[in-house]
Chain A
Amino acid sequence: MGAPHTYSYDVLIVGAGGAGLRAAIEAASAGVSVGLICKSLLGKAHTVMAEGGMAAAMGHNDDRDNWQVHFADTMRGGQYVNNWRMAELHAREAPDRVRELEAWGAVFDRTPDGRINQRNFGGHRYPRLAHVGDRTGLELIRTLQDHTIHLGVTVHMEYTVIDLLLDDGQVSGVLAYDRERGRFYAFAAKAVVLATGGVGRAFKITSNSWEGTGDGHALAYRAGAELIDMEFVQFHPTGMVWPPSVKGILVTEGVRGEGGVLKNSEGRRFMFDDIPENYRPQTASDAEEGWRYTQGDKSARRPPELLTRDHVARCIRREVRAGRGSPHGGVFLDIAWIKEKLPGAADHIRRKLPSMYHQFKELADLDITREPMEVGPTTHYIMGGIRVDADTQASTIPGLFAAGECAAGINGANRLGGNSLSDLIVFGKRAGEYAAAHARSRVAPRLDEQAIAEATGAALAPFERGGSGENPYTVQQDLQETMQDLVGIVRVETEMQDALTRLDALNARAARSGVEGHREYHTGWHACLDLRNLLTVSEAITRSALERRESRGGHFRDDYPEKSAEYGAFNIAVHRDPGGTMHVARRPIPAMPAELTSIVEDQKQ
């Protein structure tokens, strides 16, 4: 097999989405050597798909907005199990991070007075999302990518990290393979930042790309780090449901932010039927008030379509279950109706939501300026992830940092739309900064040859099993169905126990999966390697969800439908114990300082 080639960096970043790129920029600017690894080509990471915008309390469209309101909205959305320090840092720092993007060349939509324009989104009290039509993720990733290429960061594209390497309990680097040739590479690094994104591919209906296989989560877990909040998976209320091949592709919340309404098959605007107590004071009392809100009337309150995602997703599910769904098992999302209110509505919609218009036109043969869309919930985001220190993004393993979707804390039980993109830049920056500082304080690490040899051997095992082994694609499909059916939007004890049994069987099948042929760009082989991670995160999600015997945010238990005060006092954590089994623990949430508590109380009316 031959020894793997070796690279060496001060800081190694795994992942080139918004979080990884922002970390790379910060570390490179701090003067250390930086390597960046990503599974796809540069600029194609999941972040490129984000649509609606990034939340930052700049107060451009409504000067009542400020970091305190953003902080309180985030905590309320997260049902108060967020890491409050992260929520605070995020709310305070996001505006600067957004302005910095403009200084690097991003071109945001403008307000009439020429500043960055901000739009409405679910759970945000005031218009807060800096955006570029509905292709904000593209603008973000391109700006960071183009800025990075002038900073001397070495990018290893289409490389996949399969293991973290440790030296005396500290991170010393990673082992990776390149897709193109299927060769192995060892990377030595004084600090490693994981920015690998989400886990959506563990479910059948998802908005996530092939890359979202929970790699960072699983790498960190196997190396001994702690994962928290894994039960909190976000099912975005509006994914496409028709035609079948596009099931799950996202329909941005921006549609509702621009005045789109949800209706059932009887034509009823069902979101008015169930408004949670804690949101009632902030929610419109009728359709007219809701419309005024979406058009920037500051005296109006938000329409119920802009309640938090967990709530909207469950209301949609309720309508479908009650037999009031659309023909293809969703509900109707209607933006075309605004022609009753606005002259030139069709042009307005095409301008405000160009990529949604395009997406429905080309994929569903439907003109959203004339007809309603059919939508239903889709797996979208995981609030849970690697447990990190709020200020430094350091994980529980020395030298290992994490940022973006694979790190946990800021979102608690439910993420507000738009809070991810700003999370990436706020905490990507911090991760890069502290990783660089850590690297400076440390001597060059030693690579463990033995561990490398074992890991490469394990990675090549599917070739030894050959074509008569299990088909990895089939195992992955079965896994996705198991998670979708048994650990999806609505959960119960018995089904989740069943899921654990099935995960065991799937683990055994994954261990038998085999492929034949040459290692070059062998997608079947890559699927075998992804399975390991998918199975780990699926188990973590299921075990954490079993442990949380209440309903909160993205986690809904049919057998425990209420929220329980007891469960508001801790996070659920999993880690791998030395024997290799998954250990579930409760981590008490530290008390919020008085200053933050009073902000939350002030904002409760």
Chain B
Amino acid sequence: MAKATFRLWRGGTHQPGAFVDYATEVSEGMVVLDAVHRIQAEQAPDLACRWNCKAGKCGSCSAEINGRPKLMCMTRLNTLDLAEPVTVEPMRAFPLLKDLVTDVSINFRIKPGIRKFAPRTPDAADGTWRMAQRDVDRVQEFRKCIECYLCQDVCHVIRDHAKHEDGFIGPRFLVYAAALEMHPLDTGDRLGDLKDRHGLGYCNITKCCTTVCPEHIHITDNAIIPLKERVVDRYYDPVTRLLRMFRG
């Protein structure tokens, strides 16, 4: 069996962090998470990492692999250059807890701040609704989100400017808000919040979030831009809109 080297970030609040190299055996079909598990079982029993499904469905195993935000369980070793050490480090936009595990709790605090689903009265006497598949398709795209927070990790508004503190909810929650706003049954109104509290305006459509989304959600084009358009239509009259266009 071939060997490969994995350069894993070790350390947490109790030890200063550093990369540590581990050589381990690799075989056909392995993914990065398999290698991490093997290292854990054979060389580093206290190595911290999150995972659940090993099939790209739960969004637990987010990390930066060779500098790219990815799911460890969906990154096959045969897509990486194993002649070089493979670096695996925790997501950088979140505070480190230990090794590959970060404190993503901010995401759990953001969500309840978004107005909840509020359905219209049922269509049928038996208390049920009718919807067409083509109308649900649109929100089903957003509901595929596995909350891996890779988009939050990569968004420069969060990473470089720490706009979380100003309330910027980040791409994951713009997708969430879009799923509610475009839900065929929802009657809630979140546009004012998106503009004033959730920092929709900070997003300058660089699409980094879209690039890393493992669910291939078109975060920017299908969720964020339509939300921005709705806000513009509601809050800015045509003249100011024209002015904004000129100002770029």
Flag if B57 contacts A99 (CB, 8 Å). no
Considering residues B56, B57, B127, which has the most beta carbons from chain A within 10 angstroms of its beta carbon?
A: B57
CA distance A40 to B183 in the complex (A): 29
Number of residues of chain B lying within 8 A (CB) of chain A: 61
Pick the residue among B42, B98, B112 that contacts A521 (CB under 8 A).
B98
Chain A stretch 219-249: residues in CB contact (< 8 A) with chain B = 242-246, 249
B residues within 8 A CB of A598?
A: none
CA distance A473 to B44 in the complex (A): 11
Does A300 interact with chain B (Cβ within 8 Å)?
no
Q: B113: nearest residue on chain A (CB-CB)? A: A149
CA distance A185 to B238 in the complex (A): 58
Flag if B131 contacts A105 (CB, 8 Å). no
Provide the B96-135 mask, 1 if CB < 8 A to any CB of A, else 0. 0111010111001001100011010000000111111100
Does B27 interact with chain A (Cβ within 8 Å)?
yes
Flag if A49 contacts B146 (CB, 8 Å). no
Q: Known: A114-B131, A115-B130, A523-B46. Is A249-B40 also a contact (CB below 8 A)? A: no
A residues within 8 A CB of B99?
A: 521
Flag if B56 contacts A245 (CB, 8 Å). no
Flag if B29 contacts A364 (CB, 8 Å). yes
Does A138 interact with chain B (Cβ within 8 Å)?
yes
Flag if B57 contacts A48 (CB, 8 Å). yes
Does B22 interact with chain A (Cβ within 8 Å)?
no
Considering residues B127, B130, B131, B139, which has the most beta carbons from chain A within 10 angstroms of its beta carbon?
A: B131
Chain B stretch 43-98: residues in CB contact (< 8 A) with chain A = 45-60, 74, 76, 97-98
**For the complex, would chain B's binding face be called helix, strand, loop or mixed by DSSP majority?**
loop
Shortest distance in angstroms between B82's beta carbon and chain A's nearest beta carbon?
A: 15
Q: Known: A41-B104, A149-B111, A150-B112. Is A471-B45 also a contact (CB below 8 A)? A: yes
Provide the A131-156 mask, 1 if CB < 8 A to any CB of B, else 0. 01101011100100011011000010
Q: B35: nearest residue on chain A (CB-CB)? A: A245
Pick the residue among B45, B127, B129, B133 that contacts A473 (CB under 8 A).
B45
Flag if B54 contacts A520 (CB, 8 Å). no
Flag if B40 contacts A473 (CB, 8 Å). yes
Does B23 interact with chain A (Cβ within 8 Å)?
no
Considering residues B49, B56, B58, B129, which has the most beta carbons from chain A within 10 angstroms of its beta carbon?
A: B58
Does A343 interact with chain B (Cβ within 8 Å)?
no
Q: Known: A103-B119, A521-B12. Is A359-B56 also a contact (CB below 8 A)? A: yes
Flag if A246 contacts B111 (CB, 8 Å). no
Shortest distance in angstroms between A241's beta carbon and chain B's nearest beta carbon?
A: 11
Does A110 interact with chain B (Cβ within 8 Å)?
yes
Flag if B58 contacts A49 (CB, 8 Å). yes
User: Which residues of B come within 8 Å of A, CB atoms?
Assistant: 12-14, 27-31, 34, 40-42, 45-60, 74, 76, 97-99, 101, 103-105, 108, 111-112, 116-117, 119, 127-133, 136, 139-140, 143-144, 146-147, 180, 183, 185-186
Closest 10 CB pairs of A and B: A243-B29, A524-B45, A114-B130, A105-B117, A473-B41, A521-B48, A209-B52, A521-B98, A517-B46, A110-B133
Chosen A-B contacts, 16 in total, with CB atoms closer than 8 Å, are: A43-B58, A43-B59, A43-B147, A44-B59, A49-B53, A107-B140, A109-B133, A147-B116, A180-B103, A243-B30, A245-B31, A363-B31, A473-B42, A520-B48, A521-B97, A527-B45
